[in-house]
Structure 1
Amino acid sequence: MPPIDQITAFVSANPVETIIISVISLVLLVLAFFALRALIRLFRRWAAGRPTEDVLTIVAASIATGVSAQGMWRFSGDVLGFDGPLRLLLFAFIEVAVITSAVRARRNMRENYSAGIDGLAVWVLTSLSAVLSSMDARSVAEAVFRLAAPLVAAWLWERGMAIERVRITGRGRINWRLTPERVLVRIGLAEASDRTASEVDAHRRLTRVALAAKRVRALREAGASDRKLRVAMAKLDKAMDQAVEYTGLAVDEKRQEALLSQIGALYNTSALIDLAPPVPWAPEPEPPAPPALPAPTAPTIAELIDDEEEDIPAEPAPPVDTAQRAAQLRAARQYWDQQIARKYVPRAADIAQEVGIPLMVAKEWRALWKLEPQAYALIEAAFREHGIVDTGTFPAIEVPERARVLVVNGSAPGSAAHDS
């Protein structure tokens, strides 16, 4: 007899029992509905403040734990012989222990920034559950599946803990030496710095020019044959043509200076063996005290007047090439830094005489350099302590014409003001 006919016959034979069963079933369905709705609300409230990946991790780990518990259910019945309530109470004790250890490990992570022994217990108990479940499998495929399910749950828990660890401590557990980024940088497919593609290409072309120039120079000094010199010169001309075309070398002063710096470093490689670098752990020698200068006389005071105030027509600077101008700029800057270290702000005339450049060029450079913090502090200290004023761009302080004297070489400002 079909099941529907059996149900119809039972209802016809037992109408009272059918009504009671229907009412009880309806009540159970209503209770199940409200319970399910409460669980859904509770889950939404729990997942409201959590990232999506954390929620998915917990859901997937719960499913894998359920698969593992089903395997333990069969193991407790088939192998251990548990039945009835005893089987219901004892079959999932390992899964409960795994969940308990996972909760304790998360608490340890939040309080002590480490999962501790509970994190190790999660993996041990998970492996034990996987082995026991697979021992009651009926086929190899089922054994592999029951081995994989608990390990998947443990792996998802571990990934959730890693996210929690990074969120709390701000760092991962370990910095791998072999990563995809490092491999790509090693084989030359990625850039280690944040340079753009155009900057990398320009640097490579300039380096190619510098190496070609070094090659030609080495062949010429070694007395190579004309054929080798012609080949090397052809490579140098080709590299230079490409650098001018693709890097803007003819108009970009920064890249011109970069090329000169590379050539200077390559040409003077042998000078490295004669260097005497300072010992990093040796005590720093005290700088010698500057010699005392005699009190300035009236003509000396006239010489100390800031050369920016002197209305002397400057001759136009003769044209120089870029390499010579860069060398002059480096020499002037080195002299300026040395004098600033000695607490002395040199005049433009001093810079022009020391480096051998026109006075107008020295004035332009000095007008920029005296705005730097160290020179600014020296000039401001001279003004605050002795009333000595550096005219021009800095500092903008109006004083009487007779007081327009800049004393920056350590002479007695009191006597200078008196003589002026």
Structure 2
Amino acid sequence: MPPIDQITTFVSDHPIETVIISVFALILLTLAFFALRAVFRVASRNLRGWAAGRPAEDILTIIAASIATGVSAQGMWRFSGDVLGFDGPLRLLLFAFIEVAVITSAVRARRNMRENFSAGIDGIAVWALTCLSAVLSSMDARSVAEAVFRLAAPLVAAWLWERGMAIERHRITGRSRINWRITPERMLVRIGLAEAGDRTTSEVDAHRRLTRVALAAKRARALREAGASDRKIRKALAELDKAMDRAVEHTGLAVDEKRQEALLSQIGALYNTSALIDLSPPVPWAPEQPQAGGGGAVAAPPAALPGSRVTYLVDDEDDEHRPADPAPPVVDTAERAARIRAARQYWDRQIERRYVPRAADIAQEVGIPLATAKKYRALWKLEPQAHALLEAAYREHGIIDTGTFPAIEVPEPVLTVNGSAPNGN
């Protein structure tokens, strides 16, 4: 007899029992409804509280990793039944022990990350147990495609966990664990398809054209000084003239002062490349040598620097007749370094204003000994921008390097060699 007929017969033969059973069933269904609704509300409230302070990518990472872990657990369920022969409650209790170990190691690794800023041995255990689960699941596969799928699912879960840990590590420490040497950006910069800086296209093109002019000028000068044949010199001059024409046409070199200064700086650096091998810059970590006959300590005098072809004939001529400075007070390394940085900042500000300050100006402005100011000024004036200012001053006004003066012609009285105004002005 079909079940519906059995129910109908039972209701016809036992009406009172049917009513009682129906009432109890209704009460149980009502209680089950309210219990499920309460559980749903508590779970929903806890879930909202858990997800309130988490970004969407963390939530999606946890969901995806949970799904991948479930796939891995299903593979271990089949492996425990088909290979190990587990059945019934034993199979239910033992099939997912590796997945439980993976989750435990992941939780411990996250706690280590928050406390010690490193996943530690638990992070290694997550990957080792994940690989073990993947291999065991794939061994019970029925086809190659299923084996690949069984291998991929646990590894996907581990990768998502690793990325979540990397995000949290960056959020806690403010930095990433490593910086890759091979990245798409670096490869594109290496082959010349990308720009490392944030320069615009016009700036990059202008820089390349000015560099071509400077290199062509250097080649022509080298050939002339080497006594090359007239044909080679004419060819080099023709290349220089062509590069100059293109630079004037495409960069606005004739009217743009910044481009003119950039070109002079490049030429100054290229013409004086050989001076680099003779430089003797001070060693920043060398101890200061005591001065003979005094209680103070001064830095060792710098080695002689190579003289330039024009502008370095005289260096602070007016300072030679000053009386010798008294021995400077003893200062610690940190204070000395701070004064040198202040002197460098003062030098850069004056160079931006197209002035080359004297050693006495640097010493007075920053409060460092005059000998130290002379030493660093002798090095800084070899830089391309300062070198270009000194040469421009000599070409336009005949001023030799004696101190502060305007390197570009301005509507102000031109200073003489000793820094005073000429007679009649």
Question: Which bracket does the TM-score occupy, shorter chain normalised?
Answer: 0.5 to 0.7
State yes or no: 1:66 paired with 2:78. no
- 1:221-240 matches, cutoff 5 A: 221-240=225-244
- RMSD, aligned CA: 3.8
Matched residue SS, 2:358: helix
In structure 1, C-alpha distance between the alignment counterparts of 2:56 and 2:401, rounded to whole Å: 72
- Does the C-alpha gap of structure 1 residues 182 and 341 become closer, same or farther in structure 2, counting only changes over 3 Å? same
Aligned to 1:210: 214
Amino acid of the structure 2 residue aligned with 1:249:
L
Q: CA deviation at 1:365?
A: 8.7
Between the two proteins, the alignment pairs up a number of residues equal to 319
TM-score, with length taken from structure 2? 0.64
Partner residue of 1:11 out of 7, 12, 31? 7
* Farther off after superposition, 221-230 or 62-71: 221-230
Partner residue of 1:338 out of 359, 378, 381? 359
Contact 1:352 1:362 in 2 (8 A): no
Indicate the percent of aligned positions where both proteins have the same amino acid: 71
Aligned to 1:47: 51
| Residue ranges of structure 1 left out of the alignment (5+ in a row) | 294-328, 346-350, 367-420
Amino acid of the structure 2 residue aligned with 1:230:
R
State yes or no: 1:136 paired with 2:140. yes
Aligned to 1:151: 155
Contact 2:355 2:404 in 1 (8 A): no
Q: CA deviation at 1:241?
A: 1.5
In structure 1, C-alpha distance between the alignment counterparts of 2:3 and 2:237, rounded to whole Å: 104
Partner residue of 1:291 out of 299, 312, 323? 323
- Does the C-alpha gap of structure 1 residues 163 and 220 become closer, same or farther in structure 2, counting only changes over 3 Å? same
Q: CA deviation at 1:353?
A: 11
Aligned to 1:245: 249
Contact 2:213 2:247 in 1 (8 A): yes
- Does the C-alpha gap of structure 1 residues 112 and 271 become closer, same or farther in structure 2, counting only changes over 3 Å? closer
* Farther off after superposition, 13-22 or 99-108: 13-22
- Does the C-alpha gap of structure 1 residues 272 and 87 become closer, same or farther in structure 2, counting only changes over 3 Å? closer
In structure 2, C-alpha distance between the alignment counterparts of 1:156 and 1:342, rounded to whole Å: 60
Q: CA deviation at 1:146?
A: 1.8
Contact 1:11 1:18 in 2 (8 A): no
In structure 1, C-alpha distance between the alignment counterparts of 2:104 and 2:171, rounded to whole Å: 22
Q: CA deviation at 1:344?
A: 9.4
Aligned to 1:391: none
Contact 2:358 2:402 in 1 (8 A): no
Amino acid of the structure 2 residue aligned with 1:291:
P
Aligned to 1:163: 167
Amino acid of the structure 1 residue aligned with 2:135:
V
Q: CA deviation at 1:214?
A: 1.8
1:197-256 superposed Cα distances (whole Å, 9 cap, x missing partner): 222221111111111112222333344444433332222222111211222211222221
Matched residue SS, 2:80: helix
State yes or no: 1:97 paired with 2:101. yes
Q: CA deviation at 1:162?
A: 0.9
- Does the C-alpha gap of structure 1 residues 172 and 19 become closer, same or farther in structure 2, counting only changes over 3 Å? same
Matched residue SS, 2:81: helix
Contact 2:102 2:130 in 1 (8 A): yes
Amino acid of the structure 2 residue aligned with 1:340:
D
- Does the C-alpha gap of structure 1 residues 269 and 123 become closer, same or farther in structure 2, counting only changes over 3 Å? closer
In structure 1, C-alpha distance between the alignment counterparts of 2:43 and 2:53, rounded to whole Å: 17
| Residue ranges of structure 2 left out of the alignment (5+ in a row) | 12-17, 289-298, 303-319, 326-350, 367-398, 416-425
- 1:106-125 matches, cutoff 5 A: 106-125=110-129
- Does the C-alpha gap of structure 1 residues 33 and 135 become closer, same or farther in structure 2, counting only changes over 3 Å? farther
- Does the C-alpha gap of structure 1 residues 344 and 60 become closer, same or farther in structure 2, counting only changes over 3 Å? closer
Q: CA deviation at 1:187?
A: 1.4
Q: CA deviation at 1:95?
A: 1.6
Q: CA deviation at 1:190?
A: 2.0
Q: CA deviation at 1:167?
A: 0.8
- 1:311-390 matches, cutoff 5 A: 333-334=355-356, 336-341=357-362, 343=364
Matched residue SS, 2:255: coil
Amino acid of the structure 2 residue aligned with 1:237:
D
Contact 1:290 1:342 in 2 (8 A): no
Amino acid of the structure 1 residue aligned with 2:81:
G
In structure 2, C-alpha distance between the alignment counterparts of 1:14 and 1:90, rounded to whole Å: 45
TM-score, with length taken from structure 1? 0.65
State yes or no: 1:87 paired with 2:102. no
Amino acid of the structure 2 residue aligned with 1:170:
G
Amino acid of the structure 1 residue aligned with 2:43:
L
- Does the C-alpha gap of structure 1 residues 72 and 276 become closer, same or farther in structure 2, counting only changes over 3 Å? closer
